[in-house]
Amino acid sequence: MEARLQAEEEQRDVIGRDLHDGVGQMLAYLSLYFNILKEKGVITLDDIEKAQSTILKTIDEVRRLSRNLAPPAIKDLGFREAVIELINSYGIISKPVFNLKIYKGTDPDRLLHEHKIMLFRVIQELSNNTFKYAKANIVDIKIEIVKKGLSMTYEDDGIGFAMDSVKKGIGLKSILSRVEFYGGSVKIQTQPGKGIKVIINLPLE
């Protein structure tokens, strides 16, 4: 229970930082920009388009945060379909390219709703790390049902990092806490210039 509470607290910290660094900074910029326009006196079409661009970016950021707070209705879609929908939503970004290999058919009965939510959050966290830090071109995600449970591999070809210098903000601690709470294991392979590979095994017995 302590590990789960810690993971939830870290998730709230991440959302708080995203609100401050993302939405907060954009709104602060807009406030400053409008003050400059007031002093300028004459407003051009270019001025309006610049403000509109920032407003649209702010709306997109709020939508992204909303998806993180409230994942798709996994209970209705199923874990498999929810993951496919999530990865497809990344298609609007040219890089990195996401390649997903996931088991066919319906979710196994052994995969509980709590497992689905946890795994979905882990994929989100790993993807966000790739977007923010990795400078990757390709991300490969493989999810399969094995004899003893579920196996997931997440791999990108980004810049990687030294494990002993990893920052808490990257979220690996949160991922470890989430998976270990349900009796799973996490193996992380990375080094500078070599990308990252995360292997998760979750028992479903």
Q: Under 8 Å CB-to-CB from 150, ≥6 apart: which residues?
A: 111, 115, 119, 143, 144, 201, 202, 204
**Which amino acid belongs to residue 6?**
Q
Q: 41, 69, 97: which is the final residue of a domain?
A: 69
Token pair, residue 13, equals 């910290």
Angle at 156 between CA 172 and CA 160, to 5 degrees: 60
Token pair, residue 2, equals 């302590």
- Domain co-membership, 100 together with 62: no
- Domain co-membership, 83 together with 150: yes
Residue by residue, pLDDT tens for the chain (205 residues) are: 555 556 666 666 667 766 766 677 778 778 888 888 888 888 889 888 888 888 888 887 777 776 666 676 687 788 999 899 888 878 767 789 999 999 998 898 889 888 998 899 899 889 888 988 889 999 999 999 998 899 999 999 999 988 877 654 457 888 888 899 899 999 999 999 999 999 999 998 7
Please say whether the beta carbons of 138 and 97 come within 8 A.
yes
- Domain co-membership, 103 together with 169: yes
- Domain co-membership, 39 together with 120: no
Q: What domain range is 13 assigned to?
A: 2-69
Token pair, residue 163, equals 């494990």
Please say whether the beta carbons of 61 and 22 come within 8 A.
yes
- Domain co-membership, 88 together with 153: yes
Can you tell me the distance from the alpha carbon of 66 to that of 89, in angstroms, rounded to the nearest whole number?
14
- Domain co-membership, 64 together with 92: no
Instruction: Identify the three-state secondary structure at position 156.
Output: strand
Q: How many domains, the chain?
A: 2
- Domain co-membership, 8 together with 102: no
CATH number at residue 118: 3.30.565.10
- Domain co-membership, 93 together with 191: yes
